[in-house]
Amino acid sequence: FFSNANSILPGTLRYNKRWRYSFNEAQVIEIDYELKPLKNIRIEADLATKNIRLSEVVVESIGDNLSLGIWGRGGSVEIISEATSKLGRTLIESKGISNTLVDGDITTYWGTVHRGGSGTQPEQQIGQFEIDLGALYWVDRVRMLGDDSGIAPGKGSGRNRSGVFNYLWYQFFVSDGSRAPDGSLSWELLGELPSDRRNLTKIRQFQELFPLRKVRHVRLIFPMSEGFEAFNGRIGTTAEWQVFGEGYPAEVRARSPIYDLGSIQHIAEIGWDIDAPPGSRVEIRSRTGNLLDNQYVFYDKNGKQVTERKYDKLIPSFRGAIDTIRTAGADWSNWSRAYATSGRVFLSPGPRRYVQLDIRFLSEDPFAAATLDEIVLEFDNPLAQETRAEVFPVEVAPGEMSQFTYYLRSEFVSSSRGFDQIQLASTAGASFRALRLAGEPIAPTVEETENGFKLFLSEPVRRSTLIEIDFESTLYLNQTRFEAFLFNSALSTTARQQVDPGDAEETIASDRIFVSLPTDGRLFADLSLSNRVITPNGDGISDRLRIDLDLFKVLDPRPVIIGVYTLAGHRVALISDAATTAGHQTYQWDGRDRQGRTVAPGIYILRVTAEGDALTRSANRLISVAY
């Protein structure tokens, strides 16, 4: 029951429905409650019957309500009232108020009093609910209980609330967490409630049903005023949001504690034991570092979390515990890419003292879920206690063979195991030229690799020194990286230590292991044709036109469009429109049009267009076709 202030009177309980059975002989009674909210059940026998007992009460529900417990798994609830208002009254509700939508208590509710009053309004004002479930689930049903008592709003007779309204209309959206080009969540409209004044007071609950799909975020948009009319009362009155689905979560993320290896160690390999049925998989990533930050959490004597400032103001007898939480410091690496298989080389930088793992359980089948039994990290003393490397020069012209020097400084302690192999790798490739150890030239054994080379030294390096490696490479991508790795032939190949970037030689102005290209806006250069005249008559002489070019600064595949046009601008042939990345590119044309017929003799325009991430560049050349 409710007071004049729309508050529940303490100690009162109203039953919304009742059933009476007389002279009942059935051993099982089934009641269809039509999916209405239910909390209390009372069974009363007016007359006791000898040897008759109540065996059990079974309640069948839709399933687990996914909106319960979202705060504990990193979810959230955001309520915005009077959104789109031009009067500066947009409000974002507090966490405590927003929690009433997902607290599982139908007697708590949200509903804002529209401060514009009734009558003529200067604009339409919108309310918005947005809920983050904290994980990605398979969802097919969302229910909104419009009034906190579970009954339709009324005129305040003591058994109903007064002046409360649900939704005149609404739009319902979901998102799986994907992002739009501007970085905001990408939403999909799944349901709409048509505008009808009966929605405000005559409907007890609202429901959206849709095919099973991955959902993490749900959003509801509804009016607080409509046109020039405002509803004089509590708008959007909502007791509970309930979200239901089937099967296992579509994605669950778990993050390990920060593991302390005891000292700076080299992690060689990572392995695991996973059971992943078809339709499921596990992704594991890692990060490492040497520094930790401490965060402090303060509590009063009752265990309630308080701010540090409030804690300091408490008298000693009212103060509680202080918890220390260790977090990653400033020198930690980014998360690695996902490991492909168990038993692979550890991908995060090392040697380091601390390591943390990020684990994602993913499923494309609602009824398939992977399990992780164990993760094993194999680590030992590092090959070198500390390494630093830099490359010079730091900027070169694109598409031209350039000379570089790689400076590598290594520091050792008594437990260091040393190294006798150095691998240099880059997406641009590299060719070895010379090696100097502490300024003295040495002649290593050189092995060419797919993306660079590997040097084999005659003696292991076990003392702190500077190594200089001269090499050459042709760059097409901006900020091309050159990575160095150390090995010890007496150990397994998994004992691979990646070299850190840093100041290896104080006389060199670099401190980095990537090389830049000039910011001149070019996307390609060195456009060359094998011949200006093509004679496709089948004699093997100038039957084909070969087109070569160097494509720059295109990291992700982008189209390179090459077409042949008449002097009037009509395209007669499309040589290529395939997407590609930076590097040397070669194309050919056999003198045929789009239908496979040889083109007529004459002069044509060859047009090359490259589409980059932020700009497009084109070039034209005249060619001739003759027979």
What is the average per-residue pLDDT within 541-569? 87
- b/e map 34-70, b = 16+ CB within 10 Å: eeebeeeeeeeeeeeeeeeeeeeeeeeeeeebbbeeb
Whether pLDDT at 150 is above 80: no
Average pLDDT of the residues in 332-355 = 92
Over range 563-570, report the average pLDDT.
Answer: 89
User: Which pLDDT value is given to residue 388?
Assistant: 94
Residue 352 pLDDT: 94
Provide the pLDDT for residue 442: 94
H or E segment to which residue 559 belongs = strand 558-565
CATH tag for 386-515 (out of 2.60.40.740, 3.30.1960.10, 3.90.1580.10, 1.20.1260.10): 2.60.40.740
Summarize pLDDT for 122-146 with one digit per residue, the tens: 556 778 889 999 999 999 999 988 7
Using the predicted structure, report yes or no on whether residue 326 has a pLDDT greater than 50: yes
pLDDT at 623 over 80: yes
Looking up tokens 């492909």 gives 340
Which residue, among 126, 132, 131, has the nearest Cα to 80 in the 3D structure? 126
CATH level 2 (architecture), domain 524-625:
Sandwich (2.60)
Q: How confident is the model at residue 104 (pLDDT cuts 50, 70, 90)?
A: confident
Q: Where are the domains of the chain?
A: 71-245, 248-290+329-380, 292-327, 386-515, 524-625
| Domain covering 248-290+329-380 in this structure, CATH number | 2.60.120
State the first-to-last Cα distance of the chain, in angstroms, to the nearest integer.
Answer: 98
For 271-295, how does the pLDDT look when each residue is reduced to its tens digit (9 = 90+)?
A: 999 999 999 999 999 999 999 998 8
User: How much is the pLDDT for 88?
Assistant: 47
**Residue 92's pLDDT is what?**
59
In angstroms and rounded to an integer, the radius of gyration of the C-alpha atoms of the chain is 35
The architecture of the domain spanning 71-245 is Sandwich (2.60)
pLDDT tens digits, one per residue of 522-537: 788 878 898 889 888 8
pLDDT digits (tens, 9 = 90+) for 476-534: 888 899 999 999 999 887 788 999 999 999 888 888 999 988 877 678 887 889 888 98
Point out which residues pair with 168 in neighbouring strands. none
Q: 4 pLDDT band (50/70/90 cuts)? A: low
Between CA 470 and CA 604 the distance in angstroms is 46
> If pLDDT is split at 50, 70 and 90, which confidence band does 110 have?
confident
Asked whether residue 243 carries a pLDDT value surpassing 60, the answer given is yes
Band of pLDDT at residue 196, cut at 50, 70 and 90 = confident
Average pLDDT over residues 315-338: 91
Tell me what pLDDT residue 153 has.
44
What's the average model confidence in pLDDT over 351-365?
A: 95
Q: Is the pLDDT of residue 148 over 70?
A: no
Residue 404 pLDDT more than 90?
A: yes
Asked, colleague to colleague, whether 386-515 and 524-625 share their fold, the answer is: yes
Does 403 or 9 have the greater pLDDT score?
403
Q: What is the pLDDT of residue 493?
A: 79
Distances (CA, A) of 531 to 528, 535, 545, 588, 625: 9, 10, 7, 11, 11
User: Greater confidence, 458 or 232?
Assistant: 458
Residue 252 has pLDDT above 60, yes or no: yes
Partners of residue 327 on adjacent β-strands: 293
Across residues 410-438, what is the average pLDDT?
A: 94
Residue 59, both tokens: 């309640």
Residues 249-257 have a mean pLDDT of 93
What residues are paired with 291 via a beta bridge? none
100, pLDDT greater than 90: no
Distances (CA, A) of 35 to 32, 100, 268, 402: 8, 21, 56, 73
Beta carbons within 8 Å of 90's beta carbon, 6+ residues apart: 80, 81, 82, 83, 84
CA distance 468 to 389: 10
Band of residue 238 on the pLDDT scale cut at 50, 70, 90? confident
